[in-house]
Amino acid sequence: MRTYDFSPLWRSTIGFDRLFDLAETAQRAGEDNYPPYNIERLSDDRYLISLAVAGFAPDEITVTAEQDVVTVEGSKADKTERDYLYRGISARPFKRQFNLADYVQVKGAAYENGLLKIELFREIPEAMKPRRIAIKEASAGNVQQLEAKAA
């Protein structure tokens, strides 16, 4: 069985429709797995995406951050014809997109030892953070008793 049915989860969750739609889309897509990548959670509000982009120089890669999507594109500028006996290092152009959750932003990107590392952080606005609500006790003067007849 290669597919999962998410419909039982829809009955017991509220507001996660977009998450399940993204999971189904990712499952259905015959996605190209190039370049390989890792997604790490560094802390509760920090994440790191690492892409293996061996053979690409930093100036041949572009990282674009939009509202809720990070797009990484790469294309080789070197078009010299070489006579390879075996070519195992892929240098084909690629485009990979990562959907971000609400309030997740790109902090920066670095290229080190053939890995492109994109650091993300989640910053929830102060108005959206949970806050404690004080509960007032009703005063006895506001409560009225209804007349009750004995049975």
Q: What is the pLDDT along the chain (151 residues), one digit of tens a residue?
A: 566 666 666 555 555 556 666 666 666 555 567 889 999 999 888 999 999 998 888 999 999 998 888 999 999 876 677 788 888 877 789 999 888 888 889 999 999 998 999 999 988 888 877 888 888 887 656 556 566 666 5
The 10 Å Cβ neighbour count of residue 147 is 4
Per-residue b or e along 82-96, where b marks 16 or more CB atoms closer than 10 Å to that residue's CB: eeeeeeeeeeeebeb
pLDDT value, residue 54:
86
Q: How far apart are CA 9 and CA 21, in angstroms?
A: 12
Q: What is the pLDDT of residue 91?
A: 78
0.85 exceeded by pTM: no
Domain boundaries of the chain, sorted by first residue: 1-31, 33-126
Under CATH, which architecture does the 33-126 domain have?
A: Sandwich (2.60)
